[in-house]
Chains A and B, each alone.
Chain A
Amino acid sequence: AQKVTQAQTEISVVEKEDVTLDCVYETRDTTYYLFWYKQPPSGELVFLIRRNSFDEQNEISGRYSWNFQKSTSSFNFTITASQVVDSAVYFCALSSPNTNAGKSTFGDGTTLTVKP
């Protein structure tokens, strides 16, 4: 069975602070994909990143960066110099194309509030 745990239910920071959202996953598959999505108050899901299990390189995109560590089964997401517009619920997800019919398993989300 697959599982994604986002231990932080809510995080509140002041604008310009850095913040890291944790994601720990469980899977028996050797081939899998990890995702982060942003869900702003409007409710849609905004795709942020996909990482496959064979690529442990960390990635940076503007103020966003991701740290993938297979040894600890973690895929953490850091926002640098947070802004009020970053306020949203963030979901980490896992899918295995070869098993589980490719469906995604989501964490319960972390609600990030960035105060001005």
Chain B
Amino acid sequence: NAGVMQNPRHLVRRRGQEARLRCSPMKGHSHVYWYRQLPEEGLKFMVYLQKENIIDESGMPKERFSAEFPKEGPSILRIQQVVRGDSAAYFCASSYSYEQYFGPGTRLTVT
């Protein structure tokens, strides 16, 4: 059973561009969580999704960030018009019930 997959592993964007981060949960998992880790900090919750539904987006910045988990395909975290402060590692986790399995993360660098 493959683990949680995230791609790309590294992403470089110029200021103002869009970043799309993908997360494929483990087989059979219908819950996806996104976390952001700023440099020298711990992981901070952003959003929790189930298939086609956003359950909790209390950690998402109000502007430029959006997330989806369609019926088919991976979950997508989208950041529009990126700024330098968006540079971070973005981790996705999936779960079936209560235990979360983390992906390897996507490191976003905004130049």
Instruction: Check A81 for interface membership: any CB of B closer than 8 A.
Output: no
Residue in A closest to B50 when the chains form the complex, CB atoms: A101
A105 surroundings in chain B (CB, below 8 A) = 45
A103 surroundings in chain B (CB, below 8 A) = 33, 45, 48, 56, 59
Q: How far is it, in angstroms, between the C-alpha of A100 and the C-alpha of B41 when the chains are bound? A: 21
Instruction: Check B97 for interface membership: any CB of A closer than 8 A.
Output: yes
Given contacts A43-B107, A101-B48, contact A95 B100 (CB under 8 A): yes
The contact of B98 among A37, A97, A109, by CB within 8 Å, is A97
Given contacts A101-B55, A101-B56, contact A106 B42 (CB under 8 A): yes
Q: B75 CB to closest chain A CB, in angstroms?
A: 15
The binding surface of chain B is classed by DSSP as strand
A33 surroundings in chain B (CB, below 8 A) = 98-99
B101 surroundings in chain A (CB, below 8 A) = 47
Which of the listed residues B55, B100, B101, B102 has the most CB atoms from chain A within 10 Å of its own CB? B100
B104 surroundings in chain A (CB, below 8 A) = 43-44
Whether B99 pairs with A43 at a CB distance below 8 angstroms is no
Size of interface on B: residues with Cβ below 8 Å to A: 25
Q: B94 CB to closest chain A CB, in angstroms?
A: 11
B43 surroundings in chain A (CB, below 8 A) = 45, 91, 93, 104, 106
26 of the cross-chain contacts (CB-CB < 8 Å) are: A33-B98, A37-B102, A43-B107, A45-B91, A45-B102, A47-B102, A50-B99, A91-B42, A95-B100, A97-B98, A101-B56, A102-B31, A102-B48, A102-B98, A102-B100, A103-B33, A103-B45, A104-B33, A104-B35, A104-B43, A106-B35, A106-B43, A106-B44, A108-B41, A108-B42, A109-B42
